[in-house]
Amino acid sequence: MAKNWWKILSVIILIYVLTVGLIIEVPSLDVLNETIRNLFFHVPMWFAMIFIFLGGLIKGIQYLHHSNKENASLEDVLAFDHKSNAMIRTGIVFGFCGLFTGMFWANYTWGTYWPDDDPKLHGSAISLLIYIAYLLLRNSIKDEENKAKIAAIYSIFAFVMMLVFIGYYPRTQDSLHPGAEGNPGFNNYDLDNTLKLIFYPAVLGWTLLAFWIASIKYKFYRIKWEKENIS
Amino acid sequence: MGKGKYFLIILFTVLQWQKSFADDVFRGMHIDNSLDAKSKVYLVKDLLHKTQALFSNLDSTNHPIISSIYDLYIDSLSAKSVLNLYPSIHKGLAEDYKNEAFVTELNAITGEKEIRNFIVNHFEIGQALKFNQAIQLRLIKSHASSVEVDMMDPMYKQGKLYVVIGVILTIFTVLILTLIRLEKKINQLSH
Amino acid sequence: MFAEFKALLRLEFQQELKNLNGLFAHLLYLVASIFIIYLGVKKIHDPTMWIALFWILQLFVALNAATKSFNYSKGRDLYLYTLTSPRAQILSKITFNSLYMIGMTIIGLALFRFLIGDANIPFIPFSLIAIAGTGALASLLTMMAAISFKVENNYTLLAILSLPLMIPILVLLINGSKLCLDVSSWEQILFQVLILIVLNIANITLSYILFPYLCRE
């Protein structure tokens, strides 16, 4: 139970966000009105995706580093790769969730599910495409060590490109998406105190949930690998 | 000089229902390149006045789309952009027309509104493209402001809201229980 | 290592000159595509369409050029590559590919302007952005070619890997090209060129660090 405290914490925080977030009084701006509550779902999911991709990146780098050492056993070294794989797959799911919550919100605020020509939306869609190419890459290589090595290298490039395309590119263009003038997060909404009270815990909660799901996936991959290779 | 047409073409394709205004101003738009600088200036000023007339004649408070385009027109010519655009366009125009009289005319235009209008009519095509994109965005925004989402009223708060929260919490609980069950299964398998 | 780099680079050029098949094939691809576009539209006045067609063409020419850069299956070079350091190898390949693709871009740009008109796009800003962008594309494609050729010489894998990663660079290029239309914004154009060069340097640095890991069997 001691090593599962963070999972319990994530459940508690998310229950708090889901109930209090929907009940609490929110400041009302034109057009947005109640839809500001999407801020507790959409934005934290993207943050969770970025954190978990960062985790996948770090595990990939650790794999590359440890695979060079002479006394490393294959099991321990491949564990890094399995962790990276699990994290990136979970990240893609969270990315799609963030995209769908964004699309539903867009329908209420802008009248359309996908406005034409919006750079931030292009950025997020292409970043997901880059990581889907990662999945295709993994599928097309049979040998495990090769797979792990190449996937780790690709994930480094993918992360850098994602940062360029989600972080830098929307700041250079006019965009409907909030926060286009400066921080492409939530500049327009005067993030007032009640919102902050729910938003920051929400980021933590969704991120911890993402890591929990990734850890279950990792254990599953691990057991599958052990059954195939050790028995 | 033909490039100034692009701005007005974009503007008028959007205002299609105001055809009578569009026809009037289109007729005045043909600018002959063989004219000397001074005549060009007068033609440009004439165009400017007509564009201004277009905006002041429209009832901008009632049409959401027209008011948003009008706002955009004013926004795009805020003082900062005037200061940024003015030197380069001043230089470009002076080279283009190569006429001292024209430059003096340009300097003699007083009043911010006239400068703004003058610059609008001399947009390079690149700026016209940006302007087009900005109009598209504004159109979407103006559509949005007509689709209002109401704030929760007390009746809703008492009744339906708790049902919604209940459903969401149930889905969430099912998800968490599934995750816990998977963990237990996997821990069993690995021991 | 610099001596190895120079030697490998000279080797790349010599190999290219010995067997000009590849070069002529790419030139033929480029010229034929531009000619087909010319037959279709004669002259393009709309700058956005000109930009879009030009970059689609360059994208596929670059992709083609990348596929022939890591042909280890030839066998005669394999021994040489086990002797030299991997870092010198990747740097020489990136340099060679960048020069090759920049050459293709310049020839493509000249032909496009000659046959299909220049659609009022000023030459110097656009060629600056085109060269910076092609450099970034070349470094990315070389690294992806390295990855995909370590995995059984797989051409489709190269396309799968590199197309999503190239889209951000292409978006930056297309925006930069559209900025060129607005002659009063030199600082913005130079800023875009700077961003593309920074991206190029980032790609080269990552390749330099990661290629040795790729090489260890």
pLDDT per position as a tens digit, C81-133:
777 888 888 899 999 999 999 999 999 999 999 998 887 788 888 999 999 99
Closest to C93 in 3D by CA, of C197, C195, C16, C199: C16
Looking at the complex, report in whole angstroms how far the Cα of residue C84 sits from the nearest Cα belonging to chain A. 19
Chains sharing 3 or more CB pairs under 8 A with chain A: B, C
Q: What length does chain C have?
A: 217
Q: What is the pLDDT of residue A55?
A: 94
Task: Tell me which residue in C47, C179, C184 faces B85 most closely, judged by beta carbons.
Answer: C184
Distance CA C196, CA A109 (A): 35
What is the Cα–Cα distance from C202 to C186, expressed in whole angstroms? 24
Query: Quick one: DSSP state of residue A186?
Result: T
The DSSP element (H or E) to which A43 belongs, if any, is: helix A42-66
Residue C36 contacts by C-beta under 8 Å, 6 or more apart in sequence? none
The span from the CA of A42 to the CA of A48, in Å, is 10
Lowest mean pLDDT among A71-80, A111-120, C4-13: A111-120
The predicted-structure confidence for A151-180, as pLDDT tens digits, reads as follows 999 999 999 989 888 888 877 665 556 644
Among candidates A67, A165, A173 on the partner chain, residue whose Cβ is nearest the Cβ of C168? A165
pLDDT of residue C45: 81
Q: Would you say residue B56 has pLDDT above 80?
A: no
Q: Which residue from A67, A141, A158 is facing C151, i.e. has the nearest CB?
A: A141
CA distance A185 to chain C (A): 20
**Yes or no, beta carbons of C160 and A172 under 8 Å apart:** no
Q: Two tokens at B90?
A: 């001043």
Q: What is the pLDDT of residue B131?
A: 46
Alpha helices in C21-85 (DSSP H): 21-41, 47-67, 78-83
Minimal Cβ distance to A34: which of B137, B141, B149: B149
Cβ-defined contact of B149 to A15 (cutoff 8 Å): no
Q: Nearest CA of chain A to the CA of B79: how many Å?
A: 18
Looking at the complex, does the CB of residue B136 fall below 8 Å from at least one CB of chain C? no
Buried b (16+ CB within 10 A) or exposed e, A35-54: bbbbbbbbbbbbbbbbbbbe
Burial class for B182, CB neighbours closer than 10 Å (0-12, 13-18, 19+): middle
Q: Which long-range contacts (CB under 8 A, 24 or more apart) does C32-39 make?
A: C33/C57, C33/C60, C34/C108, C34/C111, C34/C112, C34/C115, C34/C116, C35/C115, C37/C116, C38/C115, C38/C116
If you count DSSP H runs as helices and E runs as strands, how many of each does chain A have, helices first? 6, 0
Taking CB atoms and an 8 Å limit, are B129 and C183 in contact across chains?
no
- Cβ contact B31:B147 at 8 Å: no
Q: Which of C51, C182, C192 to mutate to test the interface with B (most CBs of B within 10 A)?
A: C182
Residue type, C93: K
This model of the complex carries an ipTM of: 0.82
Q: Does A19 touch chain B (CB under 8 A)?
A: yes
Band the pLDDT of C57: cuts 50, 70, 90: very high
Determine the Cα–Cα distance for residues C54 and B31; give it in Å rounded to an integer: 33
Provide the mean pLDDT of chain C: 86
Cross-chain Cβ contact C183/B88 below 8 Å: yes
Give CA torsion, residues C83, C88, C90, C96, to 10 deg: -110
C-alpha dist (Å) from residue B127 to B66, B134, B154: 21, 10, 49
Q: Taking CB atoms and an 8 Å cutoff, what residues of chain A touch B189? A: 223
Q: pLDDT: is C145 or B123 the higher one?
A: C145
* Chain A positions in Cβ-Cβ contact with residue C195 (cut-off 8 Å): 168
Q: How far apart are CA C164 and CA A216, in angstroms?
A: 29
Q: Is there a contact between C165 and A158 (Cβ–Cβ < 8 Å)?
A: yes
Residue in the block written with tokens 């796009």: C121
Q: What is the DSSP letter of A164?
A: I
Looking at chain A, the whole-number percentage of residues with pLDDT higher than 70 is 84
Count CB-CB contacts under 10 A for residue C149: 20
Q: Is B126 within 8 Å of C179 when comparing Cβ atoms?
A: yes
Q: Is the pLDDT of residue A126 over 50?
A: yes
pTM over 0.80: no
Query: Which DSSP letter does residue A2 get?
Result: G
- Which amino acid, A135? L
Find chain A residues with C-beta within 8 A of C165's C-beta: 130, 133, 157-158, 161
Please name which of A44, A47, A3 lies closest in space to residue A212, comparing C-alpha atoms: A3
Cβ-defined contact of C165 to A150 (cutoff 8 Å): no
Interval C35-53 mean pLDDT: 88
pLDDT digits (tens, 9 = 90+) for B144-182: 544 455 566 665 667 777 888 889 899 999 999 999 999
Please judge whether B127 and C47 are an interchain contact, meaning their C-beta atoms are less than 8 angstroms apart.
Answer: no
- Smallest CA-to-CA distance from A93 within A147, A48, A148, A136 is with A48
At B67-107, the pLDDT tens digits run 444 444 444 433 333 333 333 333 444 344 455 554 455 55
Joined together, the tokens standing for residue B69 give: 């385009």
Q: Inter-chain contact C181–B92, Cβ cutoff 8 Å?
A: no
How far is the alpha carbon of C55 from chain B, nearest alpha carbon, in Å?
Answer: 18
- A143 or B130, higher pLDDT: A143
Average pLDDT on B122-133 reads 46
Supply B114's token pair. Answer: 């006239």
* pLDDT for position C11: 84
